[in-house]
Amino acid sequence: MIPELASPTREEVMADTQETLRAVARALDALGPLPEKGGNGAAAISFDAMNPLQRLARFLAESYGELAEILEGLRETRGLFRKAEMHRLQHTHITLQEVTSQTEMATTGMLDGLERCLGLVDSIEAAEGAEGEDPRNQLRDELHQVIQHLQFQDITAQRIGHATGVLSDVETRLVRLMGTLEQYGFAVTDHEEEVEAIVEQHVVCDPNATTQNADSRQALADDIFA
Amino acid sequence: MKFLVVDDSATMRRIVVNSLQRIGYSDIVEAADGAQGLEVLDGSIDFVITDWNMPVMGGLDMVRSIRAQPDRSGLPILMVTTRSVREDIVQAAQAGVNNYVVKPFTPQVLKEKIDQVLTKLRGAA
């Protein structure tokens, strides 16, 4: 039976890597001065004139430099995600939610006022017992129409809800990406407050919700249900 | 006639209720999503008006759940929604919705569709 090997810790991997790099450095030192790439100095040796070990050394040195640049780029990218994009995304997300809630509050206030007006018209009419065509009927019709116009709140909320959903999705992906980078040791060294993704219940919203062309859209529904 | 109005938007519920009152219906109960709608739904409800996009349980799932109950297979259901692409409307019809109103609507359109549903169901009875 093969004994189960424990996974090395991150520190152990780093220590092994450093030890390996030191061993490579010692081996390179033993080969003499590192050939300069295209260098003009006295120590410069053309690539064609190098022996295979020197070529390997040049390749390793160049690769190391490129890898170091890539790692630095990844660190910077992660830092930028955290410092700028996450805050901006969360701010946009919160702003959109505030817009939805403020629109809802405003329309609720308007509905309250309109319904009070309608009640007022009813009570005036009852008190006077008016007969026939009355301008108050027109007023009532107008008030009802205004109430119907307030449907825009639900329709715009659908669009905003969809946009919020997209932002949440992007945010979740960024957090996942940062988690992956963190896992491989690309941590940002500052002690900034951790930014956590806003996890919300998924609500399906209609990205095509519109106040336009209600008649033609209703006609399509009528055709299907005819 | 007693109506159940299901919509997650408080504004829309009030607008639907206001429209129903304007066309002569005053016995109305409300629910904020499909699950609440199913809880509220009892033998006293004669007509259901529901939105499609709602949290917890959407209108389409609620309609399917109602239609799965043998004693409620004939309950009139009207979908009032922003969704107006052909595929969605067909899907609603297949789920068992009796008629379909596209938002934004007018009380006249709401009345017309309610009347159509009731006339059709009376004719079928």
Phi-psi region of B54 (alpha: psi -120 to 50; beta: other; left: phi over 0): beta
In this complex, the residue of A157, A158, A224 whose CB is nearest that of residue B93 is A224
Which range, A108-117, A204-213, B91-100, is most confident? B91-100
A111 touches chain B (CB under 8 A): yes
Nearest to B103 among A151, A203, A224 (CB): A151
Task: Output DSSP code: residue A5.
Answer: P
CA angle centred on B27, ends B32 and B119, rounded to 5°: 100
A208 CA to centre of own chain: 21
pLDDT band at A158 (very low <50, low <70, confident <90, very high): confident
Structure tokens given for A159:
């669009």
Task: Tell me whether A7 touches chain B (CB under 8 Å).
Answer: no
d(C-alpha B121, C-alpha B76), whole Å: 8
Residues in chain B within 8 Å Cβ distance of A205: 53
Of residues A223 and A8, more confidence is placed in A223
Q: Output the average pLDDT for chain A.
A: 73
Name residues 32-91 of chain A within 8 A of B (Cβ). Answer: none
Structure confidence at residue A185 (pLDDT): 65
Cα-based distances in Å from B26 to A184, B2, B104: 64, 8, 21
Q: Distance between CA atoms of B52 and A204, rounded to whole angstroms?
A: 9
Q: Chain A closest CA to B42's CA: distance in Å?
A: 27
Distance CA A160, CA A155 (A): 9
Residue A7 burial class via C-beta count within 10 angstroms: exposed 0-12, middle 13-18, buried 19 and up: exposed
Q: List chain B residues with CB under 8 Å of A150.
A: 11, 15
Question: Averaging pLDDT over each range in A12-21, A149-158, A186-195, which range is the top one?
Answer: A149-158
A206 touches B: beta carbon within 8 Å: yes
Residue A114 has pLDDT above 60, yes or no: yes
The closest alpha carbon to A196, from A217, A220, A224, A168, belongs to: A168
Which range, A2-16, A76-90, A102-116, B89-103, has the best average confidence (pLDDT)?
Answer: B89-103
Q: Which of A144, A150, A220 sits opposite B11 (nearest CB)?
A: A150
Q: How far apart are CA A214 and CA A220, in angstroms?
A: 10
Q: How far apart are CA A152 and CA B118, in angstroms?
A: 29
Per-residue confidence (pLDDT) for residue A100, from 0 to 100: 78
CB–CB of B41/B66 below 8 Å?
yes
Q: By CA distance, what is A218's nearest residue in B?
A: B102
- Looking at residue A29, what is its pLDDT? 67
Contacts A121 to B, Cβ<8 Å: none
| pLDDT at B123 (0 to 100) | 83
Give chain A positions within 8 Å (CB) of B103.
151, 154-155, 209, 214
- Region of residue B33 (phi > 0: left; psi between -120 and 50: alpha; otherwise: beta): beta
Q: What does the pLDDT read at residue A218?
A: 94
At A104 the pLDDT is 82
Task: Please tell me which of the candidates B10, B15, B52 has its beta carbon nearest to residue A151.
Answer: B15
Summarize the confidence of residues A147-173 as an average pLDDT: 82
> What secondary structure does DSSP assign to A19-39, as a single string?
HHHHHHHHHHHHT-SPPPTT-
How close does chain B come to A5, measured CA to CA in Å?
47
Mean pLDDT of A94-117: 80
pLDDT in tens, chain B (125 residues): 999 999 999 999 999 999 999 999 999 999 999 999 999 999 999 999 999 999 999 999 999 999 999 999 899 999 999 999 999 999 999 999 999 999 999 999 999 999 999 999 888 77
pLDDT at A42: 45
Position A191 scores a pLDDT of 45
Q: Which among B9, B54, B104 is the nearest to A211, CB-wise?
A: B104
What share of chain A in percent tops pLDDT 70? 67
- The pLDDT of residue A125: 75
Give the residue on A whose Cα is nearest the Cα of B55.
A203
Angle at A11 between CA A9 and CA A16, to 5 degrees: 95
Q: Are B54 and A107 in contact (CB < 8 Å)?
A: no
Tell whether the model's pLDDT for residue A2 goes beyond 60.
Answer: no
pLDDT attached to residue A41: 46
Identify which has the larger pLDDT, B36 or A125: B36
Q: Inspect the interface and report whether the beta carbons of A144 and B12 lie closer than 8 Å.
A: no
Question: Which residues in chain B touch residue A149, judged by CB atoms under 8 angstroms apart?
Answer: 104
**Are the Cβ atoms of B83 and A157 closer than 8 angstroms?**
no
Mean pLDDT of A205-220: 87
Residue A10's pLDDT is 63
pLDDT tens profile A6-59? 666 666 766 777 677 777 777 666 666 655 554 444 456 677 777 777 777 777
Q: Which range in A174-183, A203-212, B46-55 is most confidently predicted, on average pLDDT? A: B46-55
Chain A residues near residue B18 by CB distance under 8 angstroms:
111, 115, 144, 147
For residue B1, the distance in angstroms to the closest alpha carbon of chain A comes to 22
Instruction: Determine whether the interchain pair A153/B9 forms a contact, defined as Cβ–Cβ distance below 8 Å.
Output: yes
